[in-house]
Structure 1
Amino acid sequence: MAGFLLIAAIMNNSAPLPDTYIIPSMSIMAFCLSYLYPQFAQKDERMQLIRQKSMFFSFVAFLFYSFTLNSLLEFNIIHLTASDAITLITALMISTLFTSWVFLARRY
């Protein structure tokens, strides 16, 4: 679906719809949760550690995303509306949180 919306935007020579960013992040979330379900079904200390470290990494990533997006907007490198910027940051945060869960689950 996201590929179709992206191709349609390219063919129209316009920016993609904000929903185009959310759809791939939701698919990443679904795949990560399906991979992690057997491990997350157990409520043990390991999973609490993974969740805590993942939230810290996501917070650091949010600061980086916010700084980068703010810099790009301030120097007029990109032009986004407020809803587009919020949608973009939301999609990045969803992807970051769930992929960090997978990486941390494989590490610990």
Structure 2
Amino acid sequence: MNDLTAQLRAFAEDRDWQQFHTPKNLAMALAGEVGELLAELQWLTPEQAAAVMDDPEAGARVRAEVGDVMIYLTRLADVLGIDLEAAAVTKLAEVAVRYPVQQVKGSATKR
């Protein structure tokens, strides 16, 4: 993660784009890219969505959109000073407490 963060920071700095990389702008760009990822899967059946990477063209589009999402999320975390990996680990620990295995296994009910 540190290497990717450094590469993205340098990419923005080299182009003098950090002035545009405000938290609001990055969050909006992230939401847009998530929307583009959703558009790739929107009308697929669950089975088609699970197999989307088997299709070279569709898989390439999905891979590109996932890449865009990762780039904007990583850049947003960097600008806000968030350790992305630590944030995810902390969140996972919180969710594990909220959803104990013995109480929720096999259920999608939200608590």
Shorter chain as denominator, the TM-score bin is 0.3 to 0.5
TM-score normalized by structure 2?
A: 0.32
TM-score normalized by structure 1?
A: 0.33
Between the two structures, name the one with larger relative contact order (CA 8 Å, sep ≥ 6).
Answer: 1
Please say which structure displays the higher CA radius of gyration. Answer: 2
The structure richer in helix per residue is: 1
